[in-house]
Amino acid sequence: MRSWAVRETWSSARSGRRAIASRVAVEDAGSGIDPQLADHIFDAFYTTKRGGMGMGLSISRTIVEQHGGRLWAVRNDGPGTTFHFTV
C-alpha cells in the first residue's frame, strides 16, 4: 500500500471586494514525474498506469482552460510533483 503526503495551498487576487483570480496548488510526495515524460502527461490517452485510461489530466486541463484558467505540473526539489491551477 502506498503512503501519500498531500499538501494543498490556496491564494487569490482581489480587486476591491471582488476576487479576480484564484490559484490552487496540490503537492504530493510520490515518485514524481519522469522529466522525459513531462511533456505528455496532459495528452489524452497518455498513461503510465497499468490499466489507466489516460483521461484524467487531459479532462482536468480542458475544464480549467474553459473557465479561463491554466493547469500545469512542476517536479518538486524533493520527492513528488506539485500540480497548480488558476481560475
pLDDT of residue 2: 52
This prediction's pTM: 0.76
Long-range interactions of 32-41: CB distance < 8 A, separation 24+: 32/75, 32/76, 32/79, 32/80, 32/81, 33/73, 33/75, 33/81, 35/75, 38/73, 38/75, 41/73
Whether the Cβ atoms of residue 35 and residue 75 lie closer than 8 Å to each other: yes
Contact predicate 73/61, CB 8 Å: no
For the stretch 20-55, pLDDT in tens is 788 889 988 888 888 888 889 999 998 888 888 889
Assigned fold of 7-86: Heat Shock Protein 90 (3.30.565)
pLDDT tens per residue across span 44-53: 998 888 888 8
**3-state DSSP assignment of residue 23:** strand
For residue 14, pLDDT over 80 is answered with: no
Write down the domain spans for the chain: 7-86
